């Protein structure tokens, strides 16, 4: 271990305090870690530090950290989870300090600012200020000068190293690469376990908001919601920013809010964080590009905070709106990890699931009237017709699903099930809902199934249809 001079330590302590007050300079790596630790220590009810994993370079002793912010932090509550990530590209350092400033702002103003208190009380916010620490501190732990975009160990672009649904089997696990770099492993240890409702992965080099997809020009079913939400961000940033902020209309993208992939897949990007979170994790994800400058100077840090913090707070609040509800077992009231599918709307994995521990679900969606199909294995599916949502408002739903009890039936007795009731035919499904067979009453002498096991039997009559769960044995 290296022995630090007392003067060096005093300097670090002094500059930590200074940064705490102003956020007008880049912290050193040890200062950054100190901030993250001290927030968790100073606000134990509100902030929890998570070490998600080491970075790629073993000798650097860098880690990917997340700070979780909520009231009763760490306790599972019925609140939407929101993810903000920064510095996935190590040289895009402005969002690094903006995220730290945001954490500080949320925690410091919790007791004094009603809006902040409401945000923290009603959400579960996760902020990862530094996703590529080796790249950012390439030149050493004391400076972000000479920061690089790629990871240092593997030279990977983190934003191309996530599972990709483009159809190329070589991409399906690690995007453009053949393995996950340490930084991606660390990030995914969080994103594979927490179900985020909305997310923003924050970058620089442009002033623009991107929404899915990166890999295909296919229209995302929630494109109206993405545009509306993106527009709110841009409007607020413009209101607080300088003239021409977010006025980036040059190049092939005609608006400051657009899909990352132009028609024809001209700029298709494989393995992006945005596509992975949106497609595989059902999280509505944006890229916020907040500045033309990559490595903003110290004076910019405060300026860009002033331009953006209102928009960032407003973005976090968006997770509260849309369809919000719970799904429980009708009898026992226990939470169910049900699938929430908007009929004739959801496509390309845009549906959401209720949380298995709380039964809560959050489904941001544009204004409209929808049919909501709620399904869970072993339960009767329920369709809620004419559910009306207004953008920026909450439509609350409390859903109870009826359990399908399992009847033990001998194969030989199956026909009597039809005979004794007024059903005309039956259909047999496996527990994943795949239809195996269907039979009319008169054709009932044929073999109905191949193996003993548990199935869903759908009895269909003129007046009614009944699903029962059956354990059929030969």
Among 459, 455, 446, which Cα is nearest to 473's? 455
- Of the pair 149, 339, the CB lying nearest Zn ion is at 149
Q: Are 438 and 386 in contact (CB under 8 A)?
A: no
d(CA 10, CA 18): 12
How would DSSP label each residue in 116-168?
A: HHHHHHH-EEEEES-S-HHHHTTT-TT--TT--SS-TTT---GGG-S---SS-
Toward Zn ion, which CB reaches closer, 164 or 182? 164
Residue number, 171 or 339, with CB nearest to Zn ion: 171
Least separation in angstroms between residue 350's CB and Zn ion is 19
Q: For residues 4-63, which are near Zn ion according to CB under 5 A?
A: none
Whether 421 contacts 458, CB under 8 Å: no
Nearest residue (CB) to Zn ion, 81 versus 159? 159
Report the residue number, 36 or 164, with the smaller CB distance to Zn ion: 164
Distance in Å, CB of 164 to Zn ion, minimum: 3
Given a contact cutoff of 8 angstroms between Cβ atoms, the answer to whether 55 and 90 are in contact is no
Write each residue from 218 to 247 as x if it is in contact with Zn ion (CB under 5 A), else as -, in one continuous string.
Answer: ------------------------------
With respect to Zn ion, which residue has the nearer C-beta, 168 or 388?
168
Residue of the chain from 166, 181, 200, 360 that contacts Zn ion (CB under 5 A): 166
Dihedral angle over CA of 349, 351, 355, 358, nearest 10: 180
**DSSP letters for 291-350:** ES-SS--HHHHHHHHHHHHHHHHHHHHGGGSEEEEEEEETTT--B---EEEETTT--TT-
When the beta carbons of 92 and 154 are compared against Zn ion, the nearer one is 92
Cβ-based nearer residue to Zn ion, 138 or 171? 171
Which tokens go with 47? 């902030």
Q: Which is nearer to Zn ion, 128 or 352 (CB)?
A: 128
Residue 151 beta carbon to Zn ion: minimum distance, rounded to whole angstroms = 13
Considering beta carbons, is residue 285 or 326 the nearer one to Zn ion? 285
The most distant pair of C-alpha atoms in the chain lies apart, rounded to whole Å, by 93
Please report how close the Cβ of residue 279 comes to Zn ion at its closest, in angstroms. Answer: 11
Neighbouring CB atoms inside 10 A of 405's CB total 9
Q: What is the DSSP letter of 411?
A: G
Task: Tell me how far, at minimum, the Cβ of 92 lies from Zn ion, in Å.
Answer: 5
Nearest Cα to Cα of residue 353 among 380, 334, 326: 326
- Residues ≥6 apart with Cβ < 8 Å to 60: 133, 134, 137, 141, 152
| 203/282 with CB nearer Zn ion | 203
Stretch that binds Zn ion, among 47-55, 159-167, 333-341, 390-398 (CB under 5 A): 159-167
Q: How far is the CB of 147 from Zn ion (least distance, A)?
A: 12
Shortest gap between Cβ of 105 and Zn ion (angstroms)? 23
Which of these ranges, 57-65, 156-164, 182-190, 388-396, lies near Zn ion under the rule CB under 5 A? 156-164
Find out whether the peptide bond into 279 is cis, omega within 30 degrees of 0: no
Q: How far is the CB of 207 from Zn ion (least distance, A)?
A: 13
Q: Could you tell me which stretch among 84-92, 103-111, 237-245, 428-436 binds Zn ion (CB under 5 A)?
A: 84-92
> CB–CB of 340/352 below 8 Å?
yes
Shortest reach from residue 450's CB to Zn ion, in Å? 38
Dihedral class, residue 326 (left if φ above 0, else alpha if ψ from -120 to 50, else beta): beta
433-472: which residues touch Zn ion (CB under 5 A)? none
Least distance to Zn ion, CB of residue 203, Å: 3
363 forms part of the interface with Zn ion (CB under 5 A)? no
Q: Does 89 bind Zn ion (CB under 5 A)?
A: yes
Q: Are 104 and 173 in contact (CB under 8 A)?
A: no
SS3 (DSSP) at 339: strand
Do 454 and 406 form a contact (C-beta atoms < 8 A)?
yes
Kindly state the tokens that stand for 302: 């405060």
Phi, psi of 312 (to 5 degrees): -65, -45
Q: How far apart are CB 166 and Zn ion at their closest, in Å?
A: 3
Give residues 253-282 in contact with Zn ion (rule: CB under 5 A). Answer: 270
What is the total count of residues that contact Zn ion (CB under 5 A)? 8
Q: Which stretch binds Zn ion (CB under 5 A): 7-15, 107-115, 203-211, 231-239?
A: 203-211
- Least distance (Å) between residue 66 CB and Zn ion: 19
DSSP H/E element including 52: strand 47-54
Nearer to Zn ion, 178 or 193 (CB): 178
User: Helix, strand or coil for residue 74?
Assistant: coil
Structure tokens at 354: 């209720």
Among 164, 257, 327, 459, binds Zn ion (CB under 5 A): 164
Residue 203 is a binding residue for Zn ion (CB under 5 A): yes
Site residues (vs Zn ion, CB under 5 A): 89, 92, 164, 166, 168, 171, 203, 270
């Amino acid at each position: 271990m290296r022995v630090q001079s007392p003067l060096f330590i005093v300097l670090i302590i002094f500059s930590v305090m200074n940064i705490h007050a102003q956020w007008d300079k880049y912290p050193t790596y040890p200062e950054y870690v100190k901030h993250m630790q001290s927030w968790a220590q100073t606000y134990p009810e509100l902030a929890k530090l998570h070490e998600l994993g080491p970075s790629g370079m073993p000798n650097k002793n860098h880690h990917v950290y997340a700070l979780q912010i909520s009231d009763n932090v760490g306790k599972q509550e019925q609140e939407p989870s929101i993810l903000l990530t920064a510095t996935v590209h190590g040289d895009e350092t402005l969002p690094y300090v903006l995220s730290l400033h945001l954490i500080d702002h949320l925690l410091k103003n919790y007791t004094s600012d009603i809006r902040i208190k409401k945000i923290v009380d009603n959400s579960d916010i996760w902020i990862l200020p530094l996703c590529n620490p080796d790249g950012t501190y390439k030149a050493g732990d004391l400076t972000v000068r000479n920061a690089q975009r790629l990871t240092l160990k593997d030279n990977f672009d983190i934003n191309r190293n996530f599972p990709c649904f483009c159809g190329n089997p070589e991409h399906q696990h690690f995007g453009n690469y053949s393995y996950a770099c340490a930084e991606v492993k660390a990030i995914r240890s969080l994103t594979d376990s927490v179900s985020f409702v909305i997310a923003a992965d924050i970058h620089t080099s442009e002033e623009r908001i991107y929404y899915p997809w990166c890999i295909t020009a296919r229209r995302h079913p929630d494109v109206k919601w993405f545009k509306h939400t993106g527009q709110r961000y841009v409007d607020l940033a413009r209101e607080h920013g300088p003239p021409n902020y977010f006025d980036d209309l040059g190049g092939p993208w005609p608006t400051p809010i657009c899909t990352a992939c132009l028609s024809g897949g001209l700029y298709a990007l494989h393995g992006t964080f945005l596509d992975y979170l949106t497609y595989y994790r059902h999280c509505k994800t944006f890229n916020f590009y907040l500045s033309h400058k990559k490595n903003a100077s110290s004076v910019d840090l405060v300026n860009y905070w002033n331009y953006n913090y209102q928009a960032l707070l407003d973005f976090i609040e968006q997770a509260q709106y849309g369809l919000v509800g719970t799904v429980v077992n009708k009898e026992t009231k226990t939470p169910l990890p049900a699938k929430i599918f908007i009929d004739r709307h959801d496509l390309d994995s845009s549906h959401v699931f209720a949380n298995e521990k709380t039964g809560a679900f959050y489904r941001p969606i544009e204004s409209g009237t929808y049919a909501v199909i709620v399904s869970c294995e072993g339960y009767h599916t329920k369709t809620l017709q004419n559910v009306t949502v207004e953008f920026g408002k909450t439509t609350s739903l409390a859903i109870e699903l009826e359990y399908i009890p399992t009847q033990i039936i001998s194969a030989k007795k199956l026909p009597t099930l039809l005979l004794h009731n007024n059903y005309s035919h039956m259909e047999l499904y496996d527990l994943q809902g795949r239809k195996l067979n269907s039979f009319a009453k008169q054709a009932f002498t044929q073999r109905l199934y191949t193996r003993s096991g548990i199935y869903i039997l759908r009895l269909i009559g003129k007046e009614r249809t009944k699903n029962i769960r059956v354990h059929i044995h030969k």
